[in-house]
Structure 1
């Protein structure tokens, strides 16, 4: 115990001496570390600003600014009358979840199209045996949950299938970007399944088979055709519907 603690004085700052800006940035880093380390898991309420200020040995105003910064980046959320809660462990994920939740379904689908067509083509040339096993397992889970009309299970299985082939692309930046958006895709997947009752098994099986066969052209085409049906469902004309056989289509 320090002398100041024994005498009831303020606790020394964890961050040493520095300008107000330096202290605020250090406080942001400190709070971010508590979140990303799992010390404060998603859904947990964080300590009050007074408690955090006492713990860190800095002013309450500095802590308030640091908390506000993390609210802005999407890691924290203030809930009136309840406190401040962790809503994401990644700034990128928090940012995209916040923006995707307020966007039109067409906008979300077009973002998926831009990312997943490239990922499908790359996956066909880079997939490993482990990736193939994961794709087949995800396809089985997707079909079983759809047959049971288990919407939540189906959405989770569908997300895992798409994440599986994005991971098979073996591009760390693409994987990180896609993972940061993944939760924002749930609503479009659930809405399409609930509204149409069509799980699009044939399209997904054709996509998976093209990836397994090492055929990047048809993998990209099958992915595009599948998402095209979603776009048409939300009355989009961004991409023309393709009717011809896979072998005669052009990306």
Structure 2
């Protein structure tokens, strides 16, 4: 009887400990879940804020980038007697036109680059790219004209706007390519003067010994055949000019 009571008390004590452990673990998990949920909510809030901030920044950049073109398009639409309900709808229409057309142009350029990369024998000239860009822009402006019932543009005005847009895009690409080419040329010009300091000292010593710079190039090239001749010529001419016109 006593043994039974001891076993019963032990079982009750074990049950109490088990209940206590269960409650403690559940409370801890609940607290942990609540804290994790709060952190997740904060993370989602930060992501949403960053998304809206990035979108607003992109819209602002696009607006200022295409603002001159939008003004030109608005003047063309107004003075050619095209129908639009009010100025707000017209600005929204032109903004979406520039934004969507920029995306379509990017897709077309990526497609053409992918085709030329995959098929090496295919040559895509500027004319084909311009035709595809013009067709894509015309589809965009026609779709917007269809969905914007408060704006009605004639086919002639659409073609004029798209032509101006295409010319502006080509000019922008040309300026961008010229800037990139200038940067590459500057980098190449700066790289051609990179030579080992000891070899540079050898060239300077030979020039100071009244040796012709052409003969100096030949001597250095024979002594260091691994160095490109163009680099030796560039460095030698530069040092020769510095010796002729010393800076004070």
The bucket for the TM-score relative to the shorter chain is under 0.3
Greater helix content: 2
TM-score (norm 1): 0.22
Q: Identify which of structures 1 and 2 has the higher relative contact order when contacts are C-alpha pairs closer than 8 Å and 6+ apart.
A: 1
TM-score under structure 2 length normalisation: 0.22
